[in-house]
């Protein structure tokens, strides 16, 4: 919000007098795109129909494309081919593009560079390949250590990829290097923009940081909640990336900025498997608030990437649970649907694209909660995830109301709160304790308009879990 008026005034006045600056003006007129990060590694058993179903589901959720996160397995190549065939079959405007996983794709030699270029070029002329600024968009996950046999990382990416005759002038390269955004200017001749993969979560909020700013982080202690509130959905990562790009472009046309939004993060792999056991703080309606930040600063954000469509291992999926889950992750994924977020995604994606406030298409209640107390004990050899201390025991609700009304949330017969709601988005929450359930009712003029009541057998907050699970159960209900 804070840069919106300044930038648009600047753009208008410059466009009027300096033709060179026209691209800044064009950027603001360019359609805003919303894409979703798609783990091709989870599609081993996918049929063509699975891809068609996912593309239809994603289109209905307001998404324009999947960022195909691909690694070295041969089946991922086959599934990439299936994905393009499905997109063509659907015949929609739905697009695909690469997000090359440089944390696993080899990138140490010139041969590695040649293989990567071939992989990209194999699909960039496909009619369903996403174009940005008239060129195929190519993104990455990581890549900040790749040299492709050259003396430095920037030289490697420049001579073996971005400026190599195979690709020079033939793609729009917007990787997500995990680097200090202030050093983006080292990548002249490489970057057409940047994707801030981690911008979806307040990743800097560790338990140590939180302890340093609050005296009480226990459960839902008010001073802890207040101290952490300002980090939720904040625009700092965007500001840093945009400043880094401005330094790189050095007064030239603005480069492409792709921001991330994500509903959750919990991963729980033992040291013997992927060895990842942590959460990022996603309480206090992170998904909604991050979207609201991106909508407010949409003049500086070209694309939003939802992280993710189907990364079950890290609990930030918005699609249905399907495909081949990373081994072991079924323990925290099965029984924890997130696809109610698809509808919420459409509401926010539409607002991001149009600039209009998120609108209630119908009266609708969304709710989510973790399944056990943050401080629960469990005989789980992996132990609780890093940062678990910061998450609140609460049911989070978003109520999309077509008009004013009243919402009652309750987690037990005695734990109940009633809120006045307004037309549009309402973000509400209520504490939850062992034995608690999720229940919400929207009433208007004394009549029940929507009731959301997941069965206690589907969701009951468990005081004595046998294993740690900081994933969320997500549910929604709409007026008929």
Interface residues with ligand NAG (CB under 6 A) are 77, 81, 118-119, 122, 216, 218-219, 221, 337, 454-455, 458, 475
Whether the CB-CB separation of 303 and 32 falls below 8 Å is answered with: yes
Strand bridging mode 276-279 / 266-269: antiparallel
Whether the CB-CB separation of 438 and 428 falls below 8 Å is answered with: no
Closest separation in Å from C-beta 211 to ligand NAG: 12
- Residue with smaller CB distance to ligand NAG, 218 or 247: 218
Closest separation in Å from C-beta 78 to ligand NAG: 7
Closest separation in Å from C-beta 353 to ligand NAG: 29
- Residue with smaller CB distance to ligand NAG, 293 or 411: 411
Closest separation in Å from C-beta 160 to ligand NAG: 16
Closest separation in Å from C-beta 271 to ligand NAG: 31
Closest separation in Å from C-beta 154 to ligand NAG: 25
Closest separation in Å from C-beta 119 to ligand NAG: 4
SS3 449: strand
- Residue with smaller CB distance to ligand NAG, 82 or 293: 82
Residue whose entry in the numeric block shows the structure tokens 């998450």? 391
What's CA 282's distance to the chain center, in Å? 11
Q: Which residue's C-beta sits nearest to ligand NAG?
A: 221
Nearest to 106 by CA among 160, 183, 165, 164: 160
Residue ranges with strand state E in 338-437: 364-369, 394-401, 405-410, 416-421, 424-431
CA atoms of 19 and 22, how far apart (whole Å)? 5
H or E stretch at 473: strand 473-478
Whether the CB-CB separation of 274 and 211 falls below 8 Å is answered with: no
CA atoms of 472 and 366, how far apart (whole Å)? 12
In whole angstroms, how large is the CA radius of gyration of the chain?
A: 23
CA atoms of 130 and 106, how far apart (whole Å)? 24
- Residue with smaller CB distance to ligand NAG, 176 or 392: 392
- Residue with smaller CB distance to ligand NAG, 105 or 174: 105
Closest separation in Å from C-beta 257 to ligand NAG: 29
Whether the CB-CB separation of 416 and 355 falls below 8 Å is answered with: no
- Residue with smaller CB distance to ligand NAG, 295 or 398: 398
- Residue with smaller CB distance to ligand NAG, 221 or 246: 221
CA atoms of 370 and 317, how far apart (whole Å)? 15
- Residue with smaller CB distance to ligand NAG, 260 or 318: 318
Closest separation in Å from C-beta 106 to ligand NAG: 14
Point out which residues pair with 386 in neighbouring strands: 278
**Which CA distances in Å does 55 have to 41, 79, 163?**
17, 14, 33
> Could you tell me the sign of the dihedral formed by the alpha carbons of 50, 53, 54, 55, in that order?
positive
- Residue with smaller CB distance to ligand NAG, 81 or 249: 81
Closest separation in Å from C-beta 31 to ligand NAG: 28
- Residue with smaller CB distance to ligand NAG, 114 or 296: 114
Nearest to 40 by CA among 78, 69, 74: 69
**Which CA distances in Å does 92 have to 65, 88, 124, 133, 185?**
11, 7, 17, 20, 38
- Residue with smaller CB distance to ligand NAG, 450 or 475: 475
Q: 73: number of CA atoms within 13 Å, CB side?
A: 13
Closest separation in Å from C-beta 224 to ligand NAG: 7
Q: What is the DSSP letter of 319?
A: S
């Amino acid at each position: 919000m804070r840069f919106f008026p300044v930038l648009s005034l600047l753009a208008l006045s410059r466009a009027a007098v300096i033709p060179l600056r026209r691209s800044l003006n064009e950027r603001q007129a360019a359609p805003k795109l919303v894409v979703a990060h798609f783990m091709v590694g989870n599609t081993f058993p996918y049929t063509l129909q699975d891809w068609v179903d996912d593309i239809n589901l994603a289109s209905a959720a307001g998404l324009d494309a999947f960022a195909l996160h691909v690694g070295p397995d041969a089946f991922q190549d086959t599934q990439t081919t299936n994905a393009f065939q499905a997109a063509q079959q659907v015949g929609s405007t739905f697009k695909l593009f690469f997000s090359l996983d440089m944390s696993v794709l080899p990138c140490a030699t010139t041969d590695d560079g040649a293989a990567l270029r071939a992989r990209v070029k194999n699909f960039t002329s496909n009619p369903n390949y996403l174009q940005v600024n008239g060129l195929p968009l190519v993104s990455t996950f990581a890549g900040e250590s790749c040299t492709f046999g050259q003396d430095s990382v920037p030289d490697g990416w420049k001579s073996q990829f971005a400026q190599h005759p195979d690709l020079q002038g033939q793609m729009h390269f917007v990787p997500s290097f995990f680097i200090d955004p202030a050093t983006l200017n080292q990548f002249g001749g490489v970057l057409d923009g940047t994707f801030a993969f981690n911008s979806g979560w307040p990743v800097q909020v560790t338990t140590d940081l939180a302890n340093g700013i609050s005296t009480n982080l226990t459960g839902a202690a008010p001073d802890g909640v207040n101290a952490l509130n300002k980090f939720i959905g904040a625009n700092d990562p965007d500001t840093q990336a945009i400043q880094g790009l401005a330094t790189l472009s050095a007064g030239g046309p603005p480069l492409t900025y792709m921001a991330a939004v994500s509903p959750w993060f919990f991963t729980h792999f033992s040291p013997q498997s992927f060895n990842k056991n942590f959460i990022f703080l996603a309480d206090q309606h992170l998904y909604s608030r991050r979207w609201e930040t991106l909508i407010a600063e949409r003049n500086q954000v070209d694309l939003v990437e939802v992280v993710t469509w189907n990364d079950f291992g890290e609990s930030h999926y918005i699609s249905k649970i399907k495909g081949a889950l990373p081994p072991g992750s079924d323990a925290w994924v099965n029984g924890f649907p997130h696809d109610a977020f698809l509808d919420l995604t459409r509401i926010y994606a539409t607002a991001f694209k149009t600039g209009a406030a998120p609108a209630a298409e119908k009266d609708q209640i969304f709710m989510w909660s973790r399944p056990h107390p943050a401080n629960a004990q469990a005989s789980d050899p992996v132990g609780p995830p890093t940062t678990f201390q910061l998450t609140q025991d609460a049911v989070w609700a978003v109520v999309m109301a077509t008009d004013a009304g009243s919402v009652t949330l309750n987690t037990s017969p005695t734990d109940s709160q009633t809120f006045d709601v307004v037309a549009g988005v309402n973000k509400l929450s209520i504490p939850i304790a062992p034995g608690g359930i999720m229940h919400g009712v929207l009433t208007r003029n004394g009549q029940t308009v929507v009731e959301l009541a997941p069965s206690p057998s589907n969701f009951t907050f468990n005081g004595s879990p046998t294993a740690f699970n900081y994933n969320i159960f997500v549910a929604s209900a709409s007026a008929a």
